[in-house]
């Protein structure tokens, strides 16, 4: 009887033990995910369903789990799909918490703000898919980063800031099917990827060089775009063969000073005191050295048409998806849709007088300047207006179709304080952007003079306030019309603010981050000089606000900011200087002496100074949004009338309780 009674009890105990084991397993999964959550930032609360005391794979245990972004199958957690949630943090640190999930097969953190180096993934032995695209990950990836990952099939690291060589351990991943490394800063050669199942490879818009492995000869040419020094059958660019060193020739006779060799463009410039013929300037600028291109406008010879099946390319930051057809026929389709072909100007501004490329080539041109983004010419058409032609070799971040779509988007913009894009000319290695010519030149020249003069042109407070307001309105418009861009302008500085006939500001070189090579943008664009870029390796929506604040400080002080080394003058850290002066109750001393101070003008100037400092706040979370900055700027007046407010009075008032419309929220550090 005792044995018979103990049997049900034993069965019950076994069932209880199994249940406890299952609960422990579930609790371990929840603990691992909660640990991961606590190590990252979730400002939008997208992981609000991750709550202690609940289970990730609750409910029926199939498909999506109870916790947002958790993928389950038969009650087991198989994947994390945390995409486009605004998450941030050091992924290389936080991802270690996920090693407690033995059944994890997919990790997707696409379209977030994660930063830091490549997370260590080789310890996830069973992982099959890794998607980290469109984050702020950076640095070199260890060569053995993918060592021993026998189950790995898909890897997407595109649109980050990785640098250094592509890890050769990827060549030893036996089941690799898809690999996307595009839009990074990878350098060196491409590993010899010989996986038979590999059906997608994209390494475009990096800094790769050397011979493309023979096993990749059938990869579409578009997936190698933007790597200027690659050669091989896949890109139709034969690799140079080593040639024997020729016998050393006798040293030629020394030239006299009057016989020095001068580049062709320089000879043209000297010929007429700085005026050259565009047929020389632009043909030399855009003419390809490839053997299959002999004159400007000739199409490239056809390439190997046997390519992989196309796949959706992510379009300009985080916009909609388009199909990029890399074959010759695909390119023709894109050109027809865009209204362009090789050798033609494409007009994107409606209602503008059209002219042909040959009209441009026959016109005379004046070199306006050479900057970090190429050379700028003023072309005077024989039977038409003058246009400005900007030539760039650093706009290879996207393929042709995406580039043309972005140019059409810019052509649709219309604001009184934006210099409109009129037309463009596309070649794989050269781009020309055409704008209207503005006679008054730039704000930088008005502020700092020309040629390093010690006597800059002075203009008074009403004009400067008018310029600030126009710039702010244009920035607000860009934010509204281009919400898909992380930094809608990206390169706001005084030399990119032109002045019209009535000294109204006209912004130029805006919205070019999506088409500009990442390495070039990081080195030269103003938004990439922001504090968050220096501290965390990434820009933000407020990087343009910081640029606006720096520009306002430059306008108020007449000083060149430290990040702008092109002005040819001693630069200053305007933010530290202005903050120091404000603390020491001498804020009025930072204002340019060339500004008028009638009536209450100085009080209004100092209010604008505080707005500028709020826009330049180092901590992104405390920096103003563009909308708030524009609203405060619009409240500033010229300060006319009999009621004056001196700098000392304004500074003295800073110790009094703040009124509702005071700038008490400005954090000055």
Q: Which residues participate in the annotated binding site? A: 390
> Collapsing DSSP states into helix, strand and coil, what is residue 65?
coil
User: Are 211 and 188 within 8 A, CB to CB?
Assistant: no
Enumerate residues 6+ apart whose C-beta is below 8 A from 265: 276, 280, 281, 284
Strand partners, 237: 232
Enumerate residues 6+ apart whose C-beta is below 8 A from 189: 165, 208, 209, 210, 211
User: Are 349 and 355 within 8 A, CB to CB?
Assistant: no
CA distances 266 to 269, 271, 281, 369, 372, Å, are 5, 9, 10, 13, 19
CA distances 659 to 88, 607, 656, Å, are 36, 14, 9
User: Are 221 and 201 within 8 A, CB to CB?
Assistant: no
* Closest C-alpha among 413, 415, 352 to residue 387: 352
Binding residues for ATP: 390
CA distances 571 to 532, 552, 562, 565, Å, are 21, 15, 5, 7
From the centroid of its chain, how far is CA 199? 29
- How is 97-156 classified by DSSP, letter by letter? GGGG-TT--EEE--SSEEEES----TT-TT--EEE--SSEEEEEPPTTTTTT-TT--EEE
User: Could you give the CA distance from residue 442 to residue 509 in angstroms, rounded to a whole number?
Assistant: 12
Cα-based torsion angle of the residue sequence 418, 420, 426, 431 in order, rounded to the nearest 10 degrees = -50
* Closest C-alpha among 609, 599, 611 to residue 638: 599
* Closest C-alpha among 163, 164, 174, 224 to residue 198: 174
Enumerate residues 6+ apart whose C-beta is below 8 A from 48: 68
Cβ neighbours around 170 below 10 Å, total = 22
User: Are 554 and 494 within 8 A, CB to CB?
Assistant: yes
């Amino acid at each position: 009887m005792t044995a018979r009674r103990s049997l049900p009890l034993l069965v019950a105990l076994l069932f209880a033990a199994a249940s406890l084991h299952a609960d422990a397993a579930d609790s371990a999964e929840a603990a691992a995910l909660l640990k991961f959550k606590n190590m990252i930032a979730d400002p939008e609360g997208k992981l609000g369903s991750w709550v202690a005391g609940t289970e990730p794979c609750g409910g029926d245990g199939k498909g999506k789990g109870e916790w947002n972004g958790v993928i389950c199958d038969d009650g087991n957690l198989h994947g994390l799909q945390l995409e486009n949630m605004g998450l941030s943090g050091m992924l290389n640190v936080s991802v270690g918490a996920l090693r407690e999930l033995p059944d994890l097969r997919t990790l997707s953190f696409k379209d977030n703000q994660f930063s830091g180096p490549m997370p260590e993934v080789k310890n996830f032995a069973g992982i099959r898919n890794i998607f980290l695209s469109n984050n702020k990950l950076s640095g070199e990836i260890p060569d053995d980063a993918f060592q021993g990952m026998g189950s790995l099939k898909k890897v997407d690291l595109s649109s980050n800031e990785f640098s250094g060589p592509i890890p050769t351990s990827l060549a030893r991943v036996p089941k690799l099917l898809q690999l996307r490394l595009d839009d990074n800063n990878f350098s060196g050669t491409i590993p010899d990827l010989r996986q038979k199942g590999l059906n997608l490879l994209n390494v475009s818009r990096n800094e790769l060089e050397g011979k493309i492995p023979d096993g990749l000869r059938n990869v579409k040419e578009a997936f190698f775009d933007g790597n200027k020094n690659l050669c091989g059958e896949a890109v139709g660019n034969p690799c140079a063969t080593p040639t024997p060193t020729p016998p050393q020739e006798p040293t030629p006779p020394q030239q006299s000073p009057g016989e020095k060799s001068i580049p062709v463009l320089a000879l043209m410039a000297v010929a007429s005191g700085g005026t050259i013929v565009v047929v020389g300037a632009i043909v030399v600028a855009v003419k390809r050295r490839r053997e299959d291109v002999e004159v400007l406008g000739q199409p490239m010879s056809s390439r190997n048409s046997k390519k992989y099946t196309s796949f959706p390319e992510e379009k300009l930051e985080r916009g909609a998806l388009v199909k990029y057809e890399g074959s010759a026929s695909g390119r023709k389709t894109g050109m027809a849709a865009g209204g362009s072909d090789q050798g033609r100007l494409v007009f994107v501004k409606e209602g503008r007088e059209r002219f042909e490329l040959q009209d441009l080539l026959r016109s005379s041109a004046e070199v306006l300047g050479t900057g970090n983004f190429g050379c700028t010419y003023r072309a005077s058409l024989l039977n038409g207006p003058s246009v400005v032609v900007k030539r760039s070799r650093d706009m290879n971040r996207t393929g042709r179709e995406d580039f043309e779509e972005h140019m059409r988007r810019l052509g649709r913009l219309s604001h009184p304080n934006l210099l409109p894009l009129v037309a463009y000319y596309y070649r794989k290695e050269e781009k020309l952007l055409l704008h209207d010519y503005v006679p008054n030149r730039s704000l930088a020249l008005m502020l700092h003079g020309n040629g390093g003069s010690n006597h800059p042109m002075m203009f008074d407070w009403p004009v400067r306030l008018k310029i600030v307001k126009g710039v702010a309105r244009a920035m607000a418009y860009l934010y509204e019309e281009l919400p898909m861009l992380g930094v809608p302008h990206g390169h706001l500085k005084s030399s990119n603010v032109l002045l019209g006939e009535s000294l109204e500001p006209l912004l130029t070189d805006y919205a070019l981050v999506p088409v500009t090579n990442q390495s070039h943008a990081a080195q030269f664009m103003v938004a990439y000089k922001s504090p968050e870029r220096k501290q965390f390796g990434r820009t933000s929506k407020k990087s343009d606000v910081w640029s606006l604040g720096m520009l306002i400080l430059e306008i108020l002080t007449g000083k060149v900011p430290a990040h702008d080394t092109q002005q040819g003058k001693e630069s200053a850290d305007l933010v530290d200087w202005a903050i120091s002066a404000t603390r020491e109750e001498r804020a009025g001393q930072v204002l340019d002496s060339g500004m008028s101070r009638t009536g209450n003008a100085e009080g209004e100037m100092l209010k604008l100074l505080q707005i500028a400092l709020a826009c330049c706040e180092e901590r992104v979370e405390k920096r103003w949004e563009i909308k708030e900055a524009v609203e405060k700027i619009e409240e500033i007046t010229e300060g006319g009338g009999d009621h004056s407010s001196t700098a000392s009075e304004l500074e003295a008032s800073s110790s009094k309780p703040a009124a509702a419309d005071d700038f008490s929220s400005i954090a000055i550090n």
